[in-house]
Amino acid sequence: MRARRVAVLIAAGTALAIGLYAATSVSPRRWQVYESEMQNPADDPPDAWVEGEFTFARLRYRSWRRGRWGTDANKSERLFLQGLRRLTRVDTRSVEEIVDIDSDGMHNWPFLYAVAAGDWQISEPQATRLREFFERGGTLMVDDFHGIPEWNGFTRALDRVLPGHTIVEIPNDDPIFHTVYNLEERVQISGWNIVYGTPWERGGIEPHWRAALDSHGRIAVMICFNMDVGDAWEWSDHPLYPEKLASLAYRLGINYVTYAMTH
């Protein structure tokens, strides 16, 4: 009987210890596994594991220069998502999703965001997977690549992903500029370098608001060329970054997300 009581007490003590550990231990950050590849990882908000109707998904891909996919991540999207929640009624998850280009899971996230696509390396299986993503109605926003060499690197890969696509300058009267905000003004959204007086990067002097159209004429790829929208989100809380550019970056991002969800 004594041995049995001792065993019961040990079991009860073990259960209590496990319960206390679970109650006091810190949960891992949602994307802790990728933080070594991110430029500016942020702490998770309290509702980081709560799902929403819309999720901002960042594409993780291989590049000529290591770790380019993680530029501005993940502070950039965390601040943008705060703005999306505050300025719209979209039921938005507070943290991003990281979508590996080798994963069929990309089909679960109809909106993808890719940084520095001028450096991306895409294999044939990856090109096929992205093509299927677009054929199913997915939309990709590409940002923060500059100059003719990076443009050529981006389009070489896109030619394999979307054979026969058309790239156009988005006209001012296109619905994408008028879904939530009327964006009549075309101002280059600069990166942090604007703080030092230079609005452009790596030879990309003239900004472009372009789109790659699929075979049905739908905007499949939203192209922010010679701009750095992600930097504007990332530094929107810094007193030195121009408020005008930060506000424009939020409005542009909100229009693009809303357009992707409704077209």
Residues 194, 231: contact at Cβ < 8 Å? no
Would the pLDDT of 118 be above 80?
A: yes
Per the listing, tokens 């594409």 go with 59
Would the pLDDT of 9 be above 80?
A: no
pLDDT at 18: 33
Would the pLDDT of 66 be above 90?
A: no
Average pLDDT for 213-224: 94
Q: Give the confidence band of 26 by pLDDT, cuts at 50, 70, 90.
A: low
Would the pLDDT of 135 be above 70?
A: yes
Would the pLDDT of 3 be above 80?
A: no
CA distance 73 to 231: 10
Q: Where are the domains of the chain?
A: 31-262
pLDDT tens for 196-207 read 999 999 999 999
Q: Give the confidence band of 1 by pLDDT, cuts at 50, 70, 90.
A: very low
DSSP reduced 3-state for 10: helix
Would the pLDDT of 185 be above 90?
A: no
pLDDT at 215: 85
CA distance 138 to 131: 9
Which ranges of the chain does DSSP label H, i.e. alpha helix? 2-24, 75-87, 124-135, 147-161, 229-234, 243-262
Q: What is the mean pLDDT of the chain?
A: 90
Amino acid at 168: V
Taking the CA atoms of residue 162, residue 137, residue 212 and residue 79 in that order, the dihedral angle to the nearest 10 degrees is -120
CA angle 100, 179, 144 (to 5 degrees): 40
Average pLDDT for 94-111: 96
Residues 40, 210: contact at Cβ < 8 Å? no
pLDDT at 223: 98
pTM of the predicted protein model: 0.88
Nearest to 165 by CA among 223, 224, 213: 213
pLDDT at 144: 97
Q: Determine the topology of domain 31-262 in CATH.
A: Rossmann fold (3.40.50)
Amino acid at 194: I
pLDDT at 228: 98
What letter would DSSP give residue 65? S
Average pLDDT for 90-105: 97
| 165 token code pair | 């696509």
Element (H, E) at 208: strand 208-213
Would the pLDDT of 176 be above 70?
A: yes
Q: Give the confidence band of 6 by pLDDT, cuts at 50, 70, 90.
A: very low
Higher pLDDT, 184 or 208: 208
